[in-house]
Amino acid sequence: MSNVPYSLAEDALGDANVEVIEVGTRDGLQIERTIVPTAEKITLINTMLASGLRSIEVTSFVSPKAVPQMADAEQVLAGIVRRPDTVLMALVPNMRAAERACTTPLDDGVLLCSASNTHNRKNLNRSIDETLAGLPSVAATLHAGGIGVRGAVATAFGCPFEGDIAIGDVVSIARAYAAAGAHGVTLSDTTGMATPLNIRSVVRAVRAALPAMELTLHLHNTRGIGLGNALAGLAEGIRRFDSSIGGLGGCPFAPGATGNICTEDLVYLLEECGYATGVDLERAIGVARKMESLLGRPLTGQVMRAGPRLRLHPADAVRAAQG
């Protein structure tokens, strides 16, 4: 933790420990055209774990035709070198996905339903009612296979097709997850439409309805306020945040979707505010640079460029002004 005289964590609700959940090899890669080889994904994930990232959403058990990047889900999970506190997660959108997941060393399956009916049809090819009706059987299959269940509410803060989302709709889906035995719910800003004000409103409403439920925020930086929304979540007592290495990501079934909040930038913000993440920032930067090399294009992370605040440089590294 940074040696600062004042810590925002002193004023925050709850403790100062924050869990950063890496989603780069799932949400980050799903929109990429470049197919990252299985062996490279495994190396990336093992390096992420070595950097102190404990929880990783590794992959998604979706149709390889729909999302080719996720075709190697079973192979990737089989190759990960686990640590004692490792939590491996994957998206499990239907019964076929649950059956596949149960053949792997997965810890948590993430069920998915959008709060927008239009987005849900684009993303899952089903209505919200059809999706919710299938939750209990999918969750039961995962539980029978020894896998925990989490639920994700997509477009919880707005939809590019329908606009603002009624908070009651988000709460209803969260309740359905709780009824299916989920031990956590992720509130997802799928296309970066969240603001600090609706972060506060939605989090408070879901917590009031389900006070014992563990909540996670999944934020995107589409409009440049992703980390501001993270601060709003922290003020509401959220202590779990999804992020993607290098700022990768975006939903392939929503217009204008861009990357998740960046893991290195989030870790830097949290540590400089006095929160503890357990993540080695320099190692996380190294993973982002490796991902950038694999994809062959610059990523949007900023801390990976500038480095930590107190990374110093020799005075002769730049020329002096003349004249």
Residues forming the active site = 251
Backbone angles phi, psi at 179, to 5 degrees: -65, -30
- Can you tell me whether residue 276 is helix, strand or coil? strand
Chain centre to alpha carbon of residue 229: 14
DSSP string, 200-219: HHHHHHHHHH-TTSEEEEE-
CA distance 297 to 225: 23
Spell out a b/e string for 91-107, using b for 16 or more CB atoms within 10 Å of the CB, else e. Answer: bbbbeebbebbbebebb
- Can you tell me whether residue 90 is helix, strand or coil? strand
CA distance 170 to 120: 13
Helices 196-209 and 226-235: crossing angle in degrees, nearest 10, is: 40
Backbone angles phi, psi at 74, to 5 degrees: -65, -40
DSSP string, 119-149: HHHHHHSS-HHHHHHHHHHHHHHHHHTT-EE
Strand partners, 148: 108
CA distance 7 to 10: 5
- Among 56, 55, 54, 141, smallest CA distance to 93 is for 141
